[in-house]
Amino acid sequence: MNEGWANLSPKDGFLVTQQAYLSDFDQKVLTYLYQPIIGAKAFSLFLTLWTELQPGVIRSQRKSHLELLDILNCDLPDFFAARQKLEGLGLLKTFSGSDTLGRFFVYQLVQPVAPDSFFKDGLLSSLLLEAVGEKRFTELAKQFKLVQVDVHDLKNVSTDFLSAFHISEKALQEPSLVIRETQAEFKQASQAKNEVDLKADHTGFDFKLLQSLIKKGFTTWDSVNAAQKLILTEHLLYGVDEVEMARQIAQATDLMTNKLDPQKLQRQFANHFTGRLSNTTNYVTPAPVTSEKQDNPKSTDDQKLTAEDLALVKAAKAYAPATYLENLKQAVHGGYVTYGEKQTLKNLIERNLFPVSVINILISYIILDREATTLPNKLVDTVANSWSRAHVTTPEAAIIQIKQFAQAKQRNTKSQTRRQVAKETLPDWAKNEQETKQNQQTPTVEKGDQQRLQRRLSELRRQHKEEK
């Protein structure tokens, strides 16, 4: 069960921003394509946050989550579940921070993808089909499909800009001060957005290098660029570098259309790649940490780790998760990586919760500590959720989290054992003392005395009736 909402308080503040401009058409796409997937509560949350957008809002003017909960008429667990759905589908980015006023969250609304991109996306279209059924899915596809008129035999008689508008050449060559200042502001905002996007992607994969390699072949770059998410996931899962990825893409290209076939690329990795990556350890680049506390983990976490723990950390940083799991299973019980395990790892990577080194520690914990022969999806989700709430971002912190859990479990076990032993077995001196007390409190009565007492009690009852 997901209890991440326990770390959220109604007193926490919130601000709302937007990553791109949102239009009425975006709302239509949300209503018809996204709402069946995310549900009414998540849909209402997005629209409510949309109405809370205010230009130039500052942190000191933020509202509390209590106001948001009142508007939505829901509690914290429902709010958190709705927020997760929006985050999972890429409609919302959440950032947290704190200042003198307390903790606050910044909710950044993300523009939904265009309908054509939505239906081309295998994951989104599959979720929609599952939610609405085949008949409604076909209706929605027809509703959002652009109808193009064949104009190849027609003449374009549209008026150009300069024919419709007249502007002096001086104004074009020397824009006014207000225009130059406004242009500079928008340019700065655009650069800041690009920097944020780059910082959010710590995969270490160079798409520019991949593009230069792809252009040497026959695969169209547009088809490759459209599969960026898939490429990054396979890179993190299997530890593939740009050169090997370009070779795999070439093998997964449709020779008739010169376009990348994403499903074929997935099958190639799933069927052939796991066992061939034992030596590609240098390709894995864990996500760099961002906080000051994490910049130098050796000063804190490393002091709590043994030499064996540090060796485990080194191995976790060296291998891609699929290779790490395969090597670990072969070393422990000679097993192999199943398709379900690959999907579990892929789903975990796509959530972007941890760097690959932390994922490898999670694998070690389940296979070694929990002695599981496979990676159960529910157990992986449980551990990942717990570590996410604990803000685990490094393999060192993950190992410490495992140790703390084991110590707490051991303390609880000992406490229960002590209470059970104290209740069931007593030392001799305690037994003697207890027997003495029982003898003092409940003296034995001989059989003859009991009969006399019973006759005396009967006589008292008879006298009591006569007096009445």
pLDDT tens per residue across span 322-366: 888 888 888 877 777 887 888 888 888 877 788 888 999 999 888
| Residue 176 pLDDT | 74
pLDDT, one tens digit per residue, over 3-54 is 566 678 888 899 999 888 899 999 999 999 999 999 999 999 999 999 988 8
pLDDT of residue 44: 94
Task: Tell me the sheet residues that pair with 104.
Answer: 13, 97
Range among 383-387, 435-439, 449-453 rated most confident: 383-387
What pLDDT does residue 275 have? 45
Pairing of strands 13-18, 102-109: parallel
The per-residue pLDDT for 42 is: 94
Helix, coil or strand: residue 376: coil
Look at residue 111 and give its three-state secondary structure. Answer: coil
State the first-to-last Cα distance of the chain, in angstroms, to the nearest integer: 69
Contact predicate 132/119, CB 8 Å: no
Helix (H) or strand (E) holding 108: strand 102-109
Rounded CA-CA distance 335/328 in Å is: 9
Among residues 81, 69, 82, 85, which one has the least CA distance to residue 1?
81
Q: What is the pLDDT of residue 459?
A: 58
Q: How far apart are CA 113 and CA 124, in angstroms?
A: 10
pLDDT of residue 339: 79
264's tokens: 């074929």
pLDDT of residue 444 exceeding 80: no
d(Cα 381, Cα 400) in Å, to the nearest integer? 19
Q: What is the pLDDT of residue 302?
A: 52
Q: What is the pTM of this model?
A: 0.42
Question: Higher pLDDT residue, 428 or 95?
Answer: 95
Q: What percent of the chain has pLDDT over 90?
A: 17
Q: Residue 234's closest CA among 14, 93, 224?
A: 224
Of 11, 93, 88, the residue nearest 49 (C-alpha) = 93
Mean pLDDT over residues 388-409, rounded?
A: 84
Note whether 80 and 4 are within 8 A (CB). yes
- Report domain extents, the chain: 4-112, 207-283, 292-409
Indicate the range of 56-65, 88-97, 411-420 predicted with least confidence.
411-420
**Residue 276 vs residue 187, higher pLDDT:** 187
Average pLDDT, the chain: 77
Q: What is the pLDDT at residue 418?
A: 59
What pLDDT does residue 27 have? 94
Task: Find out if CATH 3.30.110 is the number for domain 4-112.
Answer: no
Q: How far is CA 142 from CA 26, 157, 456, in A?
A: 17, 30, 100
Long-range contacts of 429-436 (CB under 8 A, 24+ apart): none
Q: How confident is the model at residue 1 (pLDDT cuts 50, 70, 90)?
A: very low
- For residues 396-409, average pLDDT: 84
CA distances from 134 to 125, 141, 147 (A): 11, 11, 22
For residue 243, give Cα distances in angstroms to 203, 230, 274.
Answer: 16, 16, 17
Kindly report, residue by residue over 220-274, the tens digit of the pLDDT: 998 998 888 888 888 887 878 888 888 889 888 988 888 999 888 888 887 766 4
Helix ranges, 52-121 (H)? 65-72, 76-88, 115-120
For residues 182-187, average pLDDT: 73
What is the per-residue pLDDT across 263-319, written as a single tens digit (0 to 9) for each? 888 888 877 664 444 343 333 333 333 333 344 444 455 556 888 888 888 888 888
In the predicted structure, residue 413 carries a pLDDT above the cut 70: no
Of the two residues 238 and 197, the one the predictor is more confident about is 238
pLDDT in tens, 143-160: 998 877 888 888 888 888
Q: Which residue has the higher pLDDT, 193 or 381?
A: 381
Q: What is the pLDDT of residue 295?
A: 43
Cβ proximity of 322 and 237 under 8 Å: yes
3-class secondary-structure state, position 101: coil
Q: What per-residue confidence (pLDDT) applies to 3?
A: 52
The confidence score (pLDDT) of residue 166 equals 76
Bigger pLDDT: 108 vs 452: 108
Provide the pLDDT for residue 39.
92
- Selection from 406, 321, 319 nearest residue 359 by Cα: 321
Across the range 165-178, mean pLDDT stands at 73
What pLDDT is recorded for position 91? Answer: 93
Residue range 168-192: mean pLDDT, rounded = 69
Cβ proximity of 431 and 394 under 8 Å: no
